[in-house]
Structure 1
Amino acid sequence: MRPWLPLLPLLVACHAPARTLPAELSRMVGRDVWVYGGGPLRCVRGNGTIEYAVPLSTPVRVTQVEQTGPRLVEIGVDGHRPAQSVPQAIILTLAPRGPVRWVSSSVGSGPVARWWQGLEVKSCTTIRVAFTDLTHLNRTLSFTPPPASVQRLIGHPRDSSVGLSATQLLWLRGAPDEPLTDVDTLLRAPTWTVIGAPGRGDQVTTFRSGRVIQETLPRMGP
């Protein structure tokens, strides 16, 4: 027997193709999505981050889809909900197809937070975003553009959300922290909550028959 033959199975294993993505993920590549609430989407670059708001009318192209092993994933609206540890995460690489608006940026002296590691890009022309699962992804991104009932509201700020439908509010503000459900269940929920800073209370929106009837805002003082 030739001496290299026992190594043949190992060589074949090393060159075996990577595990393929599930069909529902692989079909996303090349598609356009729209960002509920305009995001913001966070670009991780070097040891800092930059947040960009994406206009509701601007599509974002999915250029790459990955499925990872265990990692921390940032969830929640304003950072008042801790990152979640998941056995398997989804990472999308997104390329906005129109102008985006700078919202904020931060730079640290050390490495970025653990839940942002692996999301770094060389240029913020693309942004990598991690999701815990498909439910989390679909609460953040829509594979269809805003409906006409939402497009009529773009560029016309409102002093109050009272009277808006749950669908309109989802598009204009994005998904709340609670309930942490799929979109269909969220749109039927009687209340939405955005967790506020400690001691200031939460933002609670109450619905009746699918429309906002009341909203309680956090206290603004110290």
Structure 2
Amino acid sequence: MRPWPALLLLVACHAPPPTLPPELARMAGRDAWVYGGGPLRCVRGNGTIEYAVPLSTPVRVTQVEQTGPREVEIGVKGHVREQRTPQAIILTLEPRGPVEPVSGSSGNGPLPRWWQGLEVNSCATFRFAFVDEARLNRTLSFTPPPRDVQRLSSQPRASSVGLSATQLLWLRGPPDEPLTDVDTLRRAPTWTVIGAPGRGDQVTTFHNGRVIRETFPGMGP
């Protein structure tokens, strides 16, 4: 009797993992730059440390993965929201220069769902989960910041009025709303960063692609 069933079982058990789509596979080994300097979050144990990344410092994409269903954080800069996605994109990022710790947290309970599976042994690398490629491209650019943006980043500004949407994206990072791809975001008439309850939001208004007005949350009592 021929051992076909056993052979088929052996092949099935050692089937290769699904290959990444070409557009994701091409990201591995490339350098990217972080809009607004991040922050990038390092998840270790039950705590996190957030690091600011200078606009001139690229991060190397050392690994690209796709997972099964999971919760993914989609808020920015402290405004946490999550969304369940059938197949998240996870990148492992390694800064190519010094980064600066800006905040940290620790706890005794389990990690939030959207951070689980993103733990690292050392904060020399970071693991980030994205709902899809459009959300990934709101955080990372695979082209470096323009020279005018690098010049602006070294000059203190009391106001963003007069900046283009592209300049503001590089200098401040993406807003909470609108939650769109980068090209649509650049054309949006307003950007909103959601503030603390009862304090109001930070709203930036554009005309012809440039900032004409900003309103900020109240400071509270």
Report the counterpart of residue 166 of structure 1 in structure 2: 165
Give the whole-Å Cα distance in 2 for the aligned partners of 1:206 and 1:70: 36
What stretches of structure 2 of length at least 5 have no aligned partner?
Answer: none
Amino acid at match of 1:52: Y
Q: CA deviation at 1:103?
A: 0.6
Deviation digits for residues 14-48 of structure 1 (CA, Å, limit 9, x no counterpart): 11111000000000000000000000000001111
Give the whole-Å Cα distance in 1 for the aligned partners of 2:139 and 2:77: 14
Spell out structure 1 runs of 4+ moving beyond 6 A.
none
Single out whichever of 32-41 and 154-163 deviates more from structure 2: 154-163
8 Å CA contact retained: 2:39, 2:77: no
Q: CA deviation at 1:131?
A: 0.4
8 Å CA contact retained: 1:81, 1:195: no
Give the whole-Å Cα distance in 2 for the aligned partners of 1:81 and 1:189: 22
1:6 paired with 2:8, answer: no
SS at 1:153 equivalent: helix
1:93 paired with 2:95, answer: no
Q: CA deviation at 1:91?
A: 0.2
Q: How does 1:1-222 map to 2 (within 5 A)?
A: 1=1, 5-222=4-221
8 Å CA contact retained: 2:45, 2:119: yes
| TM-score calculated relative to the size of structure 1 | 0.97
Deviation digits for residues 183-219 of structure 1 (CA, Å, limit 9, x no counterpart): 1111011100011111111110000011100000011
Q: CA deviation at 1:7?
A: 2.2
SS at 1:94 equivalent: strand
SS at 1:152 equivalent: helix
Q: CA deviation at 1:5?
A: 3.9
- Report how many residues are paired: 221
Deviation digits for residues 100-155 of structure 1 (CA, Å, limit 9, x no counterpart): 01011111112211100000000111100000000000000000000012011122
Give the whole-Å Cα distance in 1 for the aligned partners of 2:20 and 2:5: 31
SS at 2:153 equivalent: coil
Give the whole-Å Cα distance in 1 for the aligned partners of 2:77 and 2:167: 20
Cα RMSD after superposing both structures: 1.1
8 Å CA contact retained: 2:191, 2:204: yes
SS at 1:51 equivalent: strand
Deviation digits for residues 173-192 of structure 1 (CA, Å, limit 9, x no counterpart): 00001111111111011100
Q: CA deviation at 1:6?
A: 2.0
Amino acid at match of 1:168: Q
* Aligned sequence identity (%): 79
| TM-score calculated relative to the size of structure 2 | 0.97
Give the whole-Å Cα distance in 2 for the aligned partners of 1:81 and 1:111: 17
Give the whole-Å Cα distance in 2 for the aligned partners of 1:98 and 1:79: 25
Give the whole-Å Cα distance in 2 for the aligned partners of 1:124 and 1:212: 36
Single out whichever of 77-86 and 30-39 deviates more from structure 2: 77-86
8 Å CA contact retained: 1:38, 1:174: yes
What stretches of structure 1 of length at least 5 have no aligned partner?
Answer: none
8 Å CA contact retained: 1:52, 1:102: yes
